[in-house]
Structure 1
Amino acid sequence: MELVLTRPQLVRWRTAVFAIFLASGLSIATWASRVPAIKSALGVDNVEIGFLLLGAGVASIVGLSIASAVLARFGAKRGMLGAMITFAIGVAIVGVGTDAVPSYGIVLLGLCLFGFGNGAVDVMMNIDGAAIEKQSNKTILPLFHAFFSFGTVIGAGVGALAAAAGINVLAHTVTMAGVVVVIALTTYPAVPARDLAEDPAPGERAGWRERLHTNLSAWREPRTYALGVIMLGMAFAEGGANDWLALGVVEGHGATEAVGAAGLTVFSVSMTVVRVLGGPLVDRFGRVNTLRILAVTAAVGLLLFILAPNLPLVFVGAALWGAGASLGFPLGMSAAADDPARAAARVSAAATIGYVAFLCGPPILGFISEQIGLLNTLFILVALIVASGIASPAARPIAGSTVGAGHPQR
């Protein structure tokens, strides 16, 4: 049965999902901003920090993969609540393992819970965002992803202030975990239980195994893999920038570390701005045309970044790179959720492909860069961005869906 909401109910639901996206970004930046303090407190080296990152990344992929089962059994309303509390507990445990009971194993456990919960909620909040798009008949997922970016900015800022004020990791992470739990509990009533997210109605719980079987069928659909290519290319472009853009400015163009950090800031600001403004752009030109334009923008920006003879053009390249890479992931999510009955399966599958690229791509690029140089390695990203643009027709709305179709003016 199709969900029918009043305007105030829809606004409350949309506001709740904005807050959930923000909470996810907030949690990621909370622990990431304290990595130097965690490293110092535990007395570990970069290799051991790398294994902590790997643990969180693997747990995230497990969370992404199991989200379909959680949705089939519990629905998005309860599933998001449980996942948010899980990653909040994980963030708090990181603080416990850093200061209260210093232990590498406890920090790893916390990061695994954090990664698992964040991976699971990522699928569910995107499905909710796509359902809100259909209720509103507007492209909104890019704006939801902008709120995730706002969360990372706020979290990083609070982390910097906490470090400057000498606040230990335990007090910081427990406080921020409490904030996430408050967001989880206050947003829960505003999220409707609905067939769109497979929230089981009374008496229907026995059919969850059949729903899970339907969810897993997404991996047999060619469109899933085509959407995965779109998201993979743009996830590589975003993840590669996060990890290697600043170093590329320093090592490839002979700039200072401060200038390298400024280059990454230009990329991040450009990406966030386009995510804020991207919905109307998609509604005007359609998903496919928008993805093609942005793929060209990202490829040109990255080529300019690599080949620029001076720093001003490097910054222009970084801005174009960020703008071009901004919407591939959210629009891929939106396209995967076109059919509400299979949204969970398709979003989970496509997101898994994208996140594997996001998490595993940068280390692979680092290895390759040791052989051919960092700027030369970035040409691989150009090729992946081009592949993403070529695969963009897969994002065309399916029959019966109007969100993302575009409305050209005449």
Structure 2
Amino acid sequence: MDAAIRRWRAALFLFMLAAGTGMASWVARTPAVRDGLDVSTGVMGLVLFGLSTGSMAGVTASGPLVRRCGGRVTISAGAALVVAGLLVVAAGASLSLAAGVFCGLALFGGGLGIAEVAFNIEGAAVESIIGRPVLPVLHGCFSLGTVVGALLGMALTAVAFPVGWHLTAVAALIAAVAVRAVLSLPHGTGKKTAGDDDSPRRSGGPGHLRVWRDRRLLLIGVIVLAMAFGEGAANDWLPLLMVDGYHVSATAGSLTFLAFAASMTLGRFAGGPLLERFGRTQVVRISAVTASLGLVVVIVSPSPLMAGAATVLWGLGTSLGFPVTLSAAGDHPHDAAERVGAVATAGYVAFLVGPPALGFLADHIGLRLTMTVVLALLVVASALAGVLGSGGRAETAADTKAQPMSS
């Protein structure tokens, strides 16, 4: 692997680490923000809808932006929105303005949506060049960032540090990292020209819509939606689930989210060797079953300690779902960027419908029982996992038994 590829890959890892820190910093402070805004769980779901709406708008715009401008420009725009969004959230939380937090989350989510789809396209390109799994580690860096953010959030929650100042400092950190990362990215990854074979004129429609005619990709989209829903439910609600469902302190709620984030990180960094040995189908199927077992305990456990421990299974189980399905979506000789962007969009649908739907349902039956919706989706993902093992490009060593691995 030459120096340029190493810098490219390192830049992707660095930014995802910072993005994960930003996300977890927000999540760890949601109980404090909810209390500061003095709103119900249902209203908090509406506030979180800003993050979901922004994410969906961002991920929808990202594919066309990558095709028009390339990944580097798209990531730069996303990073700017992430920083601006965190600053607005900080101001809204400090002034106890729910509308301000909503708007800030919309900007933050939009930036993440724009940047993360572009990063997945970049990561899939690196994966194709070096012939080894990259996306699990890329998402592992995001999860490692969530561990850092959760630790910081837990510590600052314990000492009642102002949420506004906390998020402002995180925004400054992300801005510095983004500048460093963007400078190491190549120009034009994923960019299309008028003469490309998959242009709308020659293919019969925009690439991001045309690729959904592939039945296999459609089923992959269902899997990624289910697995992303499982991950997103914890990101949005786990601290509040522990606080409201098990009556623990806000610090204990943050500690539970830390356990989830740490298990996500472990699962993703261990994912490469597991994928090379067992293949995507078995890894995703076992992952979905593991997450389901963890969720069952969280839902029915009489003990907060047992429920907190079960979030480790939840995190391990959902850790590889999103990156592995994105990697499977990229198995195509011509439409890899469009397919990755399309499947990532399906994943973000979970983030769009999840927070408000779960919040409204929780107002009637509680957050613990509401998680049965997530459990049902994970069962569906396990049942459909077989479609991940038959792509058109190198998948994993275990899937193909014939693909050489370069360094």
Structure 1 unmatched ranges of 5 or more: 1-5
- 1:76 deviates by 0.5
User: Is structure 2 residue 78 aligned with structure 1 residue 83?
Assistant: yes
Instruction: Give the match for residue 316 of structure 2.
Output: 323
User: 1:288 touches 1:395 (CA, 8 Å); kept in 2?
Assistant: yes
* Aligned counterpart in structure 1 of residue 329 of structure 2, from 323, 336, 350: 336
User: Is structure 2 residue 239 aligned with structure 1 residue 226?
Assistant: no
SS in 2 for 1:190: coil
CA deviations 1:34-65 (Å, max 9, x no partner) are: 55666677x56346654332122111101111
Q: How does 1:40-189 map to 2 (within 5 A)?
A: 45-46=39-40, 49-97=44-92, 106-159=100-153, 171-189=165-183
CA deviations 1:257-298 (Å, max 9, x no partner) are: 576665544433222211111111001111111112222222
User: Is structure 2 residue 18 aligned with structure 1 residue 18?
Assistant: no
Structure 1 residues 382 and 156, CA, compared in 2 at 3 Å: closer, same or farther?
closer
- 1:82 deviates by 1.7
User: Is structure 2 residue 3 aligned with structure 1 residue 8?
Assistant: yes
AA aligned opposite 1:199:
K
Taking only the aligned residue pairs, the percentage that are identical comes to 36
User: 1:56 touches 1:111 (CA, 8 Å); kept in 2?
Assistant: yes
Larger radius of gyration: 1
Structure 1 residues 191 and 367, CA, compared in 2 at 3 Å: closer, same or farther?
same
User: Is structure 2 residue 190 aligned with structure 1 residue 198?
Assistant: yes
User: 1:237 touches 1:325 (CA, 8 Å); kept in 2?
Assistant: yes
Cα distance between partner residues in 1 of 2:54 and 2:243 = 33
* Aligned counterpart in structure 1 of residue 384 of structure 2, from 357, 378, 391: 391
CA deviations 1:353-385 (Å, max 9, x no partner) are: 222223423543444455556555444333321
TM, length-normalised to structure 2: 0.82
* Aligned counterpart in structure 1 of residue 267 of structure 2, from 251, 254, 274: 274
TM, length-normalised to structure 1: 0.81
CA deviations 1:181-220 (Å, max 9, x no partner) are: 22222122321235xx32357x979x97769822331233
User: Structure 1 stretch 374-383 or stretch 271-280: which is displaced more?
Assistant: 374-383
Structure 1 residues 313 and 98, CA, compared in 2 at 3 Å: closer, same or farther?
closer
User: 2:48 touches 2:356 (CA, 8 Å); kept in 1?
Assistant: no
Instruction: Give the match for residue 296 of structure 1.
Output: 289
Instruction: Give the match for residue 380 of structure 1.
Output: 373
Alignment RMSD: 3.6
SS in 2 for 1:116: helix
SS in 1 for 2:133: coil
Cα distance between partner residues in 1 of 2:218 and 2:180 = 36
Cα distance between partner residues in 1 of 2:371 and 2:48 = 23
SS in 2 for 1:29: helix
Cα distance between partner residues in 2 of 1:333 and 1:86 = 24
- 1:107 deviates by 4.5
User: 2:288 touches 2:318 (CA, 8 Å); kept in 1?
Assistant: yes
- 1:408 deviates by 6.6
Instruction: Give the match for residue 3 of structure 1.
Output: none
Cα distance between partner residues in 2 of 1:105 and 1:264 = 26
Structure 1 residues 314 and 221, CA, compared in 2 at 3 Å: closer, same or farther?
same
User: 2:297 touches 2:306 (CA, 8 Å); kept in 1?
Assistant: yes
Tell me the number of residue pairs that the alignment of Structure 1 and Structure 2 aligns.
397
* Aligned counterpart in structure 1 of residue 350 of structure 2, from 327, 346, 357: 357
User: Structure 1 stretch 20-29 or stretch 56-65: which is displaced more?
Assistant: 20-29
AA aligned opposite 1:381:
V
User: Structure 1 stretch 8-17 or stretch 106-115: which is displaced more?
Assistant: 106-115
Structure 2 unmatched ranges of 5 or more: 403-407
Structure 1 residues 111 and 204, CA, compared in 2 at 3 Å: closer, same or farther?
farther
Structure 1 residues 8 and 113, CA, compared in 2 at 3 Å: closer, same or farther?
same
